[in-house]
Amino acid sequence: MEHQEALLTNDAVVFGLLAITLGAIFYTTQSSHPFWRRFYTYVPALLLCYFIPSLYNTFGIIDGSASNLYYMASRYLLPAALILLTLSIDLQAIARLGRKAVIMFLTGTFGIVIGGPLAILLFSVIAPDVVGGAGPDAVWRGMTTIAGAWIGGGANQAAMKEVFEVGDALFSQMVTVDVIIANIWMAVLLFMAARADKLDAKIHADTSAIDHLRRKVEAFQAEHARIPVLSDLMYIAAIGFGLTGLSHFIGNWAGTGLGALAAESKRQVSAGMEPAVDWRWLSDFSLDSTFFWLIVLATTFGIILSFTKVKLIEGAGASKIGSVFIYVLVATIGMHMDITAVFSNPGLFAVGAVWMTIHAALMLIVARVIRAPTFYMAVASQANVGGAASAPVVASAFHPSLAPVGVLLAVLGYALGTYAAYLCGQLMRIVAVN
């Protein structure tokens, strides 16, 4: 859909509108009014954070393509969010969840990594037009953003959009597919959570570790949680934005240097010369992208900090501030969406459904084989597909005190999301090209 000049063109005004929108959404999620309680039983808040800004764009209130807010959010808030979300990861605590929980999480990640390429292979045979396209509109490129969302979260999704240079129209379609398919699967997981006792009994799953886990989570919360003071918040800002600046500095150096090597090889080949070393492959794997290095470095810095005492700042709410940045990012992504764009290729919903089916089938099969409790299967799956925004919702469906377990596994998803989604993207590129 082509827009006339938008009603609001000043980015400061648009940012204010997005902030008010996010505030209103989260205000209503806390309402005790029966309507809102019933409404959010079926409609996730995350969906509204995408959808309402997309309505502003679709109906010409704002023009996402003319705004610099997404650039600001993706270059400054996104890497800071990745740092603040990953610095709280406790690899030892994840290991203590037991091998079954870790196996289920990694199974979910594996299912998404291979599910995308397999879905492309299937549709290239039965409906090749659905997974076609070229350049920024190549469907495989758009699917990398779904991989980022389903392995990590909104931060990883935005990272894949930039790394693989996905066109805005295609991205609108992919975000819609992501949100709808992911929330259908979340509804299935919540249905299973309500029947966990019967499902666990059927496969003779040992659930004794879950009670022990619940007590440990409650003890950790009581020990480390505190009311943040100004110095805490300034410390969090220094860590997030300081390391974001360092990531930009190193990433620009790495991307520019490797880009020069790739460009020189391309120039020599186009001139009929044989380069001493052919560096063109650097472009194929996005290693000449400064944004790629920005995201990888930010994620890596966060993981490194998780082994230091810096991680204790999580008690003052580092991940909550990171989540605020993510929701601002989600709103700026939504303002680039045109909800009518998905009708140009409705077959993408079938591709997404096949992809999710592969993930779900692997989860159910492995859970049965290793006799994993339904809790581990459901939370591990949602930690991949939904991330920190919705994994706690599924975890709390089993017991409210277990919600942080969903966050813990989802943070692992943020850490793996950049790397695994990039691998998935390269596999989809290979499959699509061949």
Residues 6 or more apart in contact with residue 115 via CB below 8 angstroms: 354, 355, 356, 358, 359
* DSSP secondary structure of 88-131: T--HHHHHHT-HHHHHHHHHHHHHHHHHHHHHHHHHHHH-GGGG
Least confident of 162-171, 194-203, 280-289: 280-289
Higher pLDDT, 46 or 84: 84
Q: How far is CA 130 from CA 138, 167, 431, in A?
A: 10, 16, 14
pLDDT, tens digit, for every residue of 327-353? Answer: 898 888 788 776 676 677 788 889 999
Q: Please give the pLDDT value at position 130.
A: 83
Q: Evaluate if residue 401 carries a pLDDT over 60.
A: no
Judge contact between 343 and 171, C-beta under 8 A: no
Answer whether 213's CB lies under 8 Å from 57's CB. no
Q: Render pLDDT for 175-230 as a digit per residue (tens, 0 to 9).
A: 888 877 887 887 788 788 878 888 888 888 877 767 666 676 567 667 777 889 99
Evaluate if residue 164 carries a pLDDT over 50: yes
Give the best-scoring range by mean pLDDT among 61-75, 94-108, 168-182, 271-285.
61-75
Residue 286: inside a domain = yes
Compute the average pLDDT of residues 395-400: 69
Is 86 among the domain residues? yes
pLDDT of residue 1: 43
Q: What is the pLDDT of residue 306?
A: 85
What separation in angstroms does the CA of 137 have from each of 57, 65, 174, 176, 332?
A: 20, 16, 11, 16, 20
* Cβ neighbour number for residue 300 with a 10 Å cutoff: 18
Residues 6+ away with beta carbon under 8 Å from 135:
167
Q: Mean pLDDT across the stretch 117-121? A: 93
- Quick check: 305 and 33 in contact, CB under 8 A? no
Count of domains for the chain: 1
Largest CA distance in the chain: 72
Give, as one character, the DSSP assignment of residue 373: -
Domain-located, residue 3: no
User: Which range marks the domain in which residue 353 is found?
Assistant: 11-433
Q: Which residues contact 243 (CB under 8 A, 6 or more apart)?
A: 79, 80, 83, 298, 301, 302
189 falls within a domain: yes
